[in-house]
Amino acid sequence: MGEVSAEGYVLIVADYRHIPPKHKLETPLEPGVAITYVDDGVAVVDHVRSLPYVDPARIHVYGVSLGGNLVLHLIGRTQVRAAVLGAPAAASFLGAVMAPGADPSDSRTRWIGARIDAGMARQNIEPIRCPILILVGEADGLIHIDRPLYFLLEKAGKTVRMEVYENGYHDFCIGPQGHQGYHQPLTQVRH
């Protein structure tokens, strides 16, 4: 796993266990109660940190969609240099619950008016020490929980930047995956 490039970088790509059946995106993760995909992420970082050719103080993590949620939980449990969240599905991190009457099958609108569990969000945000970059598209329905995520991180005094891209669909930051609108040019509109 991993090899040093000519430029001196080590890139590790890892996957995590599947979410348990009947587990919803917004189901809170309880550290120490059950082994979860976050434990898998922490184990990968711990392993990489132990490699003799890796500077343990220069580890960066990147996660997209549910991987972004994983990274949020991970950086609250282990120290890294920086984190990038692509279109993060931060529902369990924020304790987000869809608004009454929201259509859970409509990925573009289901998080509009979502209720955030402020206590859970504060508890999860407090231990974070690294800078965070959030990348989200305007056409991604997760923008409705990513904006509150950004404001809560900022309010807590964390180093955070959010870049919003016009025509950015969910997962735009990892390339076309059959989403409608993938052919549209991306333009950064806000941060």
| pLDDT tens digits, one per residue of 18-71 | 665 555 555 666 666 667 788 889 999 999 999 999 999 999 999 999 899 999
Contact call for residues 41 and 12 (beta carbons, < 8 A): no
What is the DSSP code string of 8-64? S-B------PPPPTT--TTPPP-TTTS--HHHHHHHHHHHHHHSTTS-GGG-EEEEE
pTM: 0.84
| Mean of per-residue pLDDT scores for the chain | 85
| Range 37-190: architecture per CATH | 3-Layer(aba) Sandwich (3.40)
| pLDDT tens digits, one per residue of 95-137 | 999 999 999 989 889 999 999 999 999 999 999 999 999 999 9
The one-letter code for the residue type at 103 is D
Identify the pLDDT of residue 175.
67
